[in-house]
Each structure stands twice: as structure tokens, then as C-alpha cells.
Structure 1
């Protein structure tokens, strides 16, 4: 029986989990603040005596917020299902941490409805925002948007707001909703009432996952995590009023989907370094999906390019990177893989497969099922692995080393059959001194400090 990555990490205390593999790893770190990305891990993980979060020696965590605790605003309880998250610089060295809550209609702790911040009173999802001082003391915690649904991921804008994404296509009248869902909403962590609860309808109605914004022109790239065939698309939104702050995206724009000529399904591409030139962008016939989900719509005789589990998305250097967490032929994909990271260069109209993830039995490849992903100020890539068994935040170096940065220690199963909640929302403080990350279940937000550089 082959040893799995998690078995090896368990034996070694979770240090370096893999070594060099093929692919243009250095490309992943474009735009990182560090000129010399670190090339090794931080050492073995040390079991947490409090049973919350295992970290390398020299690192420490603070629990900022847990589901079920009272919101400091007095608006209700901290909702559950902590997912995507962004950290934004505030005044006097403060940080505004905007956090998604991926609540469905069955969510146990809904985001409290607040006048002026609620889209659909029947929606249980939304965002909360924590205000922190320079030492990660919580100064405030309040609702930032409510009445949305299945707020999965999203992404930051260059004008210091958060775009929160609904990962659903439910219409009004479904599951008790009073309004259509499947939109992106803009959230200002410093002043949520400035952005309110207005759906950015021109950006499309579909099962949104994450976004990344080109800071040079305001074009927004969007991933779609569709749950069944035909799988999701990779989109770009060309705003009528590019950049310029809150309200620019409300002015409308054009939504387009990516077509890779001759490739109807990205899962068939298996070799890192594979490049496609002349990428095309096709206008979406009906962005509101009034009659037909976008991925089912007619994009002409040449079709459109699909991919299963399009999730994490970020901007680095002059390119946008996006993640396909996995593809399974048994689910209807054209081929099977355990995770990919793609790079699209707009100025070259070029798409490149830069990383291929491996099965849990292959310790020479990074861990399977990558989900939320972000660049670290130290030059590495942080990946929330959403697989089975123990749950980790992995670091990935430019030399191809995969190392564990954190391991969840909250057992949500039983002593005989332990389970751990996935990590999500990994992000860093504006000064790079703190990594913030969520445990999805039970909803817990951590601030992790230590010798990052």
C-alpha cells in the first residue's frame, strides 16, 4: 500500500512534503513583494495543546472570531461557514478583514439582516467585517452585507473593496428566496453602507467562485464552479467605467467567456508548460441567464471552453492565474486530474498550464484539490487544500517544494473516525506580518504571526 502525503506529513511533523516537479514555478510568484522567494518550509508542525491549530515552532495564532459568539456590533451572532476573505488597510494602521459566509438555506447561523445592507431577507449568506488594530486586537465586528446566498470566494479590488461571489443560480421562488441569486456584490469594509447590497448584474448570474482584477485597466476575471455538466467557464468583465472606485462596476459593462481554439475542455491538457496562443473572448449572449444558464447558452458553431471546479483566482505581475481544483472523468469531464493552475497573459493572449497537482499518493507533486490560493509577501504561494483527511494550508516555493504551514486540529468527527474542517480565505495583512485564515467548520478566523521572512 502506497504511503499518502498526509501519512508522511503525520510521521514527519509536516515539514516539506514534496520536491521539484515540472512546470514554470517561478511564474506563479510574479508580482510578489519579495525579490527572492523562500525555498524551504518553516520546519515541522507542533501539535497545539489547545487543539485548534498546529503551526511550526516560532509561529503563534490568535483566534479572532468563532461562529456562535456575539458580534461586537450587537447585531446578532457570528455566522458560520467561514469562506473567502480579504484584508484591507484602514486608517491609523488598522486592518479591515472582510469575511464571506457560505450559508445556504439550511445554514444554522445566518448572517443577521441589517437595514440598508440586506439584499434578500430570505438569504442566509453574506459577509461580516472585523476591524483590527496593528496587534490584531479586535476593535469591532459587524455585518457588511446580508441576504445573499452561498458566498463562497471573491477577491479584492485595486480601490480597496471586496467583491463577494454567490455560488448559486437559484431564482426567486426557489428555496424561499424573494430575489434571483447568482451575483457579485461589492463590499466596502471600512463603510459597508457606502456600497450597500446592490447586485452587479452586468457581471453575470452564475455559480460564481472567485475574481481577480487587472490593476492597469480594471478588467475583472471570474471563475465559475458549476456542479454538473457542462462545467463552468472562465470569464472577463470589461467595465464601462474602468477603475475609479466604488460605483464603477455598477455602471455596467460587457461580459465575455474564454474560448481556447480547439479545446472544449481544459481537463484534457496534462503537461505543464503547454501553451495556447490567440485566446479568444466571446460575448455572453445573456449574462442574466434569464432563460438558460450561461454555460448552456449558444456560443456559436465553435463552442466555448469548459473546465470542472474552477475556483481560486488571483492577479500577479501582468497575468491572471486561476485554479481548477480537480477534474473527474466519472463526473463527465473529458479527462481526470488532481488540480491545475493556469496562467493567462492578456497582453499576449496566451494561456499556459503552469502547475499540475498530484494525487495524495504521489509525494513528488503538490497536494491534491487546491482551493483558495494567494501570494504571500515572502514570495511563496499559499494554498488551502480541500481534500479528505487532515486539512492543511500548504506553502509552495519557487523551487517546487511543498511544505505545511498550518494543520487544523479541531476534530469535528469522533475519536474513532476523526474529521477536520477545510481551510479557506487565506490572505495576508497589508504589511505582510500576519496570515489570516479561516477554518470553515467550525467557523473560526485565525491570525497567524511569526518569522514569515
Structure 2
């Protein structure tokens, strides 16, 4: 959508809130099936077309080399590309740990993909270290121009020298905002890996903007907070960037950043705005990571973060630093979530995922970290300031630790799993039905491999998705989408 059409539509939405509400508006209001009250035995139907699915998953060879990397329904095909270590068009070896990703319309029918690489530690920057934000750090983003079948026209570095680039979000003016899921820096003690931060030259834990048609300025947006960012989405109605926090061992928060100038001026997100954190009205510090009733809903407010970009005194531990921004909000009553990861915006509603939210289902064990459930999906209406539960996993067999999320042209959510066993791409239909789209063939020597970065191409023909592992790669999937929930 070009700028004029987007502004026109945004004005219409702001003027009449009756048109606000994404495809799950009815489900979030409790008028359709919720995951926690489905009938016994409903799982048996979730792979069939009548339940939104496409049929049983079959081992499917990769069009690139014939190896079986995915199990897909009959009629679906895929091609992998930009495998870790393979040379990109600019001569740089493709970094690993492919993660969050977004698609943009390119020239001559091509798709532009901007892709994160969640690399941690002082391992050195990929690409030209002289251009890196921090030459010691190996995270960042790469950009690839591909066709509908995963054939690469060009690929190269678009941001380097950052760390733990987990997810982010596409901005409607044509940029990808990438998020650092860390607060490492020379002022912070060793992180969960035990590696010292003394080699780092910059503070980390920020948003960086990457234009889809170029490279990043590598200047962080510090006023948007220094915390374990996961995802970011823009709402033209409020003019805010909504952000999730994935704080594995501690409570996480849901944030919004109010930029000082609308991003339409200059076509970029500017530093110097206000950072706020979500709180539930009249219920300070409500723990929303706990199990919820189907259709649970809350009226919310926002509390200011007074020091969004803290610098830490010598001796500050990583555990202390990673909670510093969130603790400011919780001191004012901000709500508690468990591991907020993927987020997606549509028509005045922000959908976001709590990876370990919910009660521990019968037959499952509580995962490590903060939160005992197998996942929740929340919907926040930016106009009514109403937060509703869309779905809570009743067990790992149905949905196991959802992470990145996107939406199909038909309105079905695509959820990337980050579970302990087999990892799936799951679909969640607007009437609350879960079905399987893909299962990952286990990656040899990397039990932690997972799906990430799912995004449909601009014309809806292709679903692009990443395998996040040490030997990561991107994949293009296409097939008879019209036969099921997507």
C-alpha cells in the first residue's frame, strides 16, 4: 500500500471506530470457540480440510536439493535458500540463527525479505566490521530479493554489529524494525551464557530501523527502551509502536513507544519519544501469565517509564539489568506476562503471543523460566483500550510454546512453535480451531531448532519461514492455500 492510500485508510479508521477490529474480534469477545473449552476429541479433526487444515503431513523433499526438511500436506512444495555459511550476493557468508522476518513488495513481481539473525556473544560482526554498530557483535539483519518459489535474485548485509536480533515488525512506510533481545553491554555482567561483556563497545537492548530498500543507519532508538525486546508493530490510529518483551527467567511486559514526530514525516521512526507499559485498571500488578477463563477481558491503562535507557554501575549483574526497565513499570502497577514474543497488527488490534502463559495443562510439565503454561494469544484493541484472551493452549499436543506469529490473507493466524519435541507451524482460525500446516524434520545435532519469522509474500502466494538453528536457513512454501484455513 502506498503512503497516500495508507494515510487515507488510517484517517477513516480513526474517524469511525466501528470499522476497527481484526479477524478475531468475535472470538476475542468470547462468541466463538476458545481453545480452553473445545469439545473432547476435537484434536482428531484438526488436520482435515473441514477443520481448517489441509490433510495429513507427509515427508516432502526440498526443491533445492531433495533433502526432507519439512513434512507438509499433499500438494505443497518448498525450496530452502540462504543457508548459514553459504555466500550471499555481496560476498558475505550468510550468518546463522535466522529468526524474525518480514516481506515487502519488490520490483518486477519479486519479494524483498528483511531477516534477523539472533547471534549472541562477542563473536565479531559479519560483513564490513568498520560499518558495524558494535564490531564485537555477530547479530543483525540480512536482506534477500526472491521470487515466489524461493529463487534468490540478490542477498546481502543490511545491519551488522547488533546482538540477539530476535524478532521485530514491518512498518507501513517500508521499513523493518529489528529488536535486540538482550541488555548486554560493557556496563553489564555476563549474561546467561557466562560470556563476559568486556569486549563489547556499545550498550545493547534497542530497536534499530532497517529500510527494505537499503541498509540501516545503525543508530539505536534509545527512548524505546533498553530491555529484552522481541517484537514491534505500528498502529496508525494511536501513532504508537507496540512492543513485546521476552524476559525468560522473569516477568515480561507489554509496552508502547510514542515517537516525538509521526514516522510519516521523513519515513522513519525517531528517537526522543515516551515509553509506557501496560497495566490493568484497578488491578495493579495483575499476573496475566496465570491460567485465564475463556474470553477473559480487561480494561487497561498505561504507565510511564521514567528512565527507558538506563546505564548501570560497575558490578550490575545481567539479571538486575534485564529487569531494570520493567521494574519501573511494575512499581507503578504494570501487569505481568510470561515471555511475550510474536506480535502482529491488523485493523486497530495488536495480536501478541505469551509463549509460556496459561495454566499447566494436565499431562504436561511446566517449562523452565517464568510461566507454567503452553501458550496464550492476546488481542489488544488500541481504540477501546480493551485486552482480551483469544486462545490459551489446553496442552502441548494442540499448541506448544508459540513464538513468532503472522496472519494469512484469509485472517488465520500462523503460529511458529518453540516446543521441546517436534516443532510445528500451526494455524489458528477465526473460530478458534487449531490445525497443523508443517512439521520440521529434526535438525541433526541441533535439538533446539525451531520455526521462526513466518510471513506471507505480498500477493499471498508464498509463505516464507525460517528454521532457526546453528545451521539455519530460509524456506519458501507454496501450494493450494485456498483449500484450507489460510
- TM class by shorter-chain length? 0.7 to 0.9
**SS state at 1:52 partner:** strand
| 1:344 equivalent among 376, 380, 403 | 380
1:294 equivalent in alignment to 2:315 = no
Structure 2 equivalent of residue 73 of structure 1 = 90
Deviations 1:132-159 (A, max 9, x none): 2455421111001000000000011111
Structure 1 equivalent of residue 477 of structure 2 = 448
**SS state at 1:153 partner:** strand
1:112 equivalent in alignment to 2:127 = yes
- Unaligned stretches of 5+ in structure 1? 1-19, 29-36
Deviation at 1:38, TM superposition (A): 8.4
Q: Distance in 1 between matches of 2:54 and 2:448?
A: 22
Check 1:148–1:21 CA distance in 2 against 1; reply closer, same or farther (3 A cut). closer
Do 1:423 and 1:437's aligned partners in 2 also have CA atoms closer than 8 Å? Answer: yes
Q: Distance in 2 between matches of 1:166 and 1:420?
A: 20
Check 1:246–1:56 CA distance in 2 against 1; reply closer, same or farther (3 A cut). farther
Do 1:83 and 1:438's aligned partners in 2 also have CA atoms closer than 8 Å? Answer: yes
Deviation at 1:24, TM superposition (A): 5.4
Do 2:79 and 2:149's aligned partners in 1 also have CA atoms closer than 8 Å? Answer: no
Give every structure 1 segment of 4 or more consecutive aligned residues whose post-TM-superposition deviation is greater than 4 Å: 20-28, 327-333
Structure 2 equivalent of residue 167 of structure 1 = 181
| 2:298 equivalent among 262, 271, 276 | 276
Check 1:423–1:110 CA distance in 2 against 1; reply closer, same or farther (3 A cut). farther
Deviation at 1:320, TM superposition (A): 0.9
Q: Distance in 2 between matches of 1:274 and 1:401?
A: 18
Do 1:38 and 1:379's aligned partners in 2 also have CA atoms closer than 8 Å? Answer: no
Q: Distance in 2 between matches of 1:85 and 1:332?
A: 25
Q: Distance in 2 between matches of 1:185 and 1:445?
A: 22
Structure 1 equivalent of residue 436 of structure 2 = 404
**SS state at 1:296 partner:** helix
Structure 1 equivalent of residue 75 of structure 2 = 58
The 5 A counterparts of 1:429-440 are 429-440=457-468
Cα RMSD for the two superposed structures: 2.7
Do 1:358 and 1:368's aligned partners in 2 also have CA atoms closer than 8 Å? Answer: no
Structure 1 equivalent of residue 260 of structure 2 = 240
Structure 1 equivalent of residue 143 of structure 2 = 129
Check 1:330–1:136 CA distance in 2 against 1; reply closer, same or farther (3 A cut). closer
Q: Distance in 2 between matches of 1:115 and 1:136?
A: 31
Structure 1 equivalent of residue 214 of structure 2 = 191
Deviation at 1:220, TM superposition (A): 0.4
Structure 1 equivalent of residue 113 of structure 2 = 97
Check 1:287–1:340 CA distance in 2 against 1; reply closer, same or farther (3 A cut). same
Deviations 1:231-267 (A, max 9, x none): 1211001111123165542242111111113152212
Deviations 1:86-136 (A, max 9, x none): 0011222221101100000176x96323554x2110111000010124554
The 5 A counterparts of 1:328-407 are 336-360=372-396, 363=397, 366-407=398-439
Structure 1 equivalent of residue 240 of structure 2 = 219
**SS state at 1:297 partner:** helix
Q: How many residues align?
A: 409
Check 1:38–1:380 CA distance in 2 against 1; reply closer, same or farther (3 A cut). farther
Structure 2 equivalent of residue 15 of structure 1 = none
**SS state at 1:92 partner:** helix
Check 1:82–1:175 CA distance in 2 against 1; reply closer, same or farther (3 A cut). farther
Structure 2 equivalent of residue 9 of structure 1 = none
Structure 2 equivalent of residue 179 of structure 1 = 202
Do 1:103 and 1:110's aligned partners in 2 also have CA atoms closer than 8 Å? Answer: no
**SS state at 1:295 partner:** helix
Q: Distance in 2 between matches of 1:401 and 1:154?
A: 27
Q: Distance in 1 between matches of 2:68 and 2:425?
A: 16
Structure 2 equivalent of residue 315 of structure 1 = 345
Check 1:400–1:165 CA distance in 2 against 1; reply closer, same or farther (3 A cut). same
- Unaligned stretches of 5+ in structure 2? 1-26, 36-48, 62-66, 188-196, 313-320, 361-365
Deviations 1:15-62 (A, max 9, x none): xxxxx999556999xxxxxxxx98521111111342212211111101
